[in-house]
Amino acid sequence: MRIQLKTDILDTDITALTQLYKSVGWNGHTPEKIACIYHKSTHIVFVYEENWLVGCGRALSDGAFNAAIYDVVVRPSHQHKGIGQRIVHQLVSSIGQVSCIHLISTLGNKSFYERCGFKKLKTGMGIYYKPELKAQYLE
């Protein structure tokens, strides 16, 4: 498998990102929302196989103290091949030496992030407005 990492976004990537998100069942990510979140992210990684987007990830960072990784997505046909780990490691590397990097794992993926070096927080908290997300993620 020959893959290529890309760290900038073009308008042509939005359609491919929309298809990628739909491949994992994230249907609420419309092209408009995807354009918004990626243009506002400080760090992005796209993984292409040939000219086909097979994975992505993004992060927000203040460049000094804090960063957060979001939306590590790998097409189901390409999962368990090391692509997700490459995305996370590329994001961590490009974020650099800040005090902390946070992320919230989707259900069932905690062990993946542990293998990438992340540890469970003692003080992590969140506010969720959608009832279904509140039920899934809050204690």
Question: Which positions are catalytic?
Answer: 113
Pick from 21, 23, 5: nearest CA to 82: 5
- Please list, in sequence order, all residues whose beta carbon lies within 8 angstroms of the beta carbon of residue 83, skipping any fewer than 6 positions away: 3, 47, 54, 55, 74
Alpha helices in 24-105 (DSSP H): 31-40, 83-95
